Amino acid sequence: MSDFFQNGEIATFHRLRPRKLEELELELEAAAKHRPISLVLPYIPVELQGPGLPRILAELRQVKYLQNVIVTMGRTTPEDFKEARKFFAALPQKPQLLWCTGPAINNLYRLLAENGIDVGEDGKGRSAWTAYGYILAREDSQVIALHDCDIVSYNRELLARLCYPVASPTIDFEFCKGYYSRVTDRMHGRVTRIFVTPLIRALKTSLGPNPFLDYLDSFRYILAGEFSMLTDLARRLRIPGDWGLEVGVLAEVHRNCALSSICQADLADNYEHKHQPLTLQDPNKGLLKMGTDIAKSIFRTLASMGYVLTNEFFVSLKSSYLRTAQDLIARYEYDSLINGLTFDRHAEGSAAEAFVRCIVSAGQQFLETPIETPYISTWKRVAAAIPNVFELLISAVEEDNKE
């Protein structure tokens, strides 16, 4: 049972009581007649071996309101692509596979580069961006939803609750971010709990009142990978090409939308997926790499707003972050105690101390290249540079899908 408290800068849609899923889906079927919905599934081959993807397919087979299912495939060999085509063919929605390392799409990426459009390296950001372009090219959807392919606890209610605030003409939001609890016998979500939230609050302490930081602090699970949005918004968004994807997308949404058109929705009682390793020795791997990219994304967004970030500022920020993280860790410990959860105070404190290195590394990289932008250009700009790019993208997808 959720609370019903509305705090922060954006609307929050809670799970106040159980609701019949069939009733919710019937409303979405009616809404989808006016606002057709495309689902994007960013997929990598290793997920075919995990427990999440077969469950996701079994659930999606029962969903009737989707116009398209777009599977984006990165880190994929020709053999992987063939295996994926066979696996996803079981879906009745006849999913379209985008082979983002395929020869035809790679030729298109090279053409974009020749025209000054850098699409970055293979990864979730580039795959999602390509999928948005393909949906725009098809011109048959008004809503885009995206969720990961490694959700072990997946059921189709998650998708319905994610789509509803944007697809419903009664609610009528432009962007919806999902949130949920991540708890087993202990709390998970270390990057959000121990790094991103205390970093945002330390920045608020250091910089003073800041609408953007207040907005970020309003999201209950800022690194959740699930969101839905109007297709027209996807045309205007730049997409980060690194681990800063989730925070970077939120920054772009803040830049392009009124706060009254942004919301978050409670998607599930609990959420379980793979856990990234916290490698304390190497800041370029695992969760430390993720933390560094997230911090860089936030620093560059603040700099674009006119804030002057100096070496002295980052030295002060380290201390403020660590104090804030330690205070929150104490709260997590007491919350775990009252709920009978396992809690390792030493491990949590060690993680916070390790995440300090993310601030140091991100600060150094920012000071060395403050105007570097790891964002992929908007599709609006791409179409201005190459007017027939959508036709080329459709042709590339068809070429790569030939037997």
pLDDT tens digit string along 344-372? 999 999 999 999 999 999 999 999 987 76
Torsion of CA 365, 371, 374, 380, to 10 degrees: 170
Contact 149, 42 (CB under 8 A): yes
CA-angle at 316, arms to 310 and 319, nearest 5°: 145
With both helix axes pointing from N to C terminus, report the angle between 345-368 and 286-304 in degrees, rounded to the nearest 10.
50
CA 45 to chain centre: 19
| Highest-confidence segment of 112-121, 123-132, 385-394 | 385-394
Burial 97-118 (b: 16+ CB within 10 A, else e): bbbbbbebbeebbeebeeeebe
pLDDT tens digits along 186-201: 999 999 999 999 999 9
pLDDT band per the 50, 70, 90 thresholds, residue 269: confident
Can you list the alpha helix ranges (DSSP code H) found in 21-77? Answer: 21-32, 52-60
Contact 255, 167 (CB under 8 A): no
Give dist(CA 100, CA 45) in Å, integer.
Answer: 13
- Looking at the predicted structure, is the pLDDT value of residue 75 above 90? no
pLDDT tens digits along 286-343: 788 889 989 999 999 999 999 999 999 999 999 999 999 999 999 999 999 999 999 9
Predicted confidence at residue 289, as pLDDT, reads: 86
- Looking at the predicted structure, is the pLDDT value of residue 1 above 60? no
By DSSP bridging, strand 239-240 and strand 375-376 are antiparallel
pLDDT tens digits along 214-255: 999 999 999 999 999 999 999 999 988 766 789 999 999 999
Rounded average pLDDT over 21-50 = 95
Rounded average pLDDT over 116-143 = 94
- Looking at the predicted structure, is the pLDDT value of residue 376 above 80? yes
Give dist(CA 26, CA 23) in Å, integer.
Answer: 5
With both helix axes pointing from N to C terminus, report the angle between 286-304 and 197-207 in degrees, rounded to the nearest 10.
30
Contact 145, 163 (CB under 8 A): yes
Give dist(CA 403, CA 401) in Å, integer.
Answer: 6
Residue 82: C-alpha distances to residues 88, 101, 383 (Å) = 10, 13, 31
Short-list 355, 206, 212, CA closest to 278 = 355
The order of strands in the sheet holding 143-146 is: 11-13, 262-268, 175-180, 227-230, 143-146, 37-43, 66-73, 96-99
Residue 159: C-alpha distances to residues 156, 163, 178, 267 (Å) = 5, 6, 10, 8
Q: Which residues neighbour 355 within 8 Å (Cβ) at sequence distance 6 or greater?
A: 194, 195, 288, 291, 321, 325
pTM summary value: 0.94
Structure tokens at 91: 């879906």
Give dist(CA 177, CA 207) in Å, integer.
Answer: 26
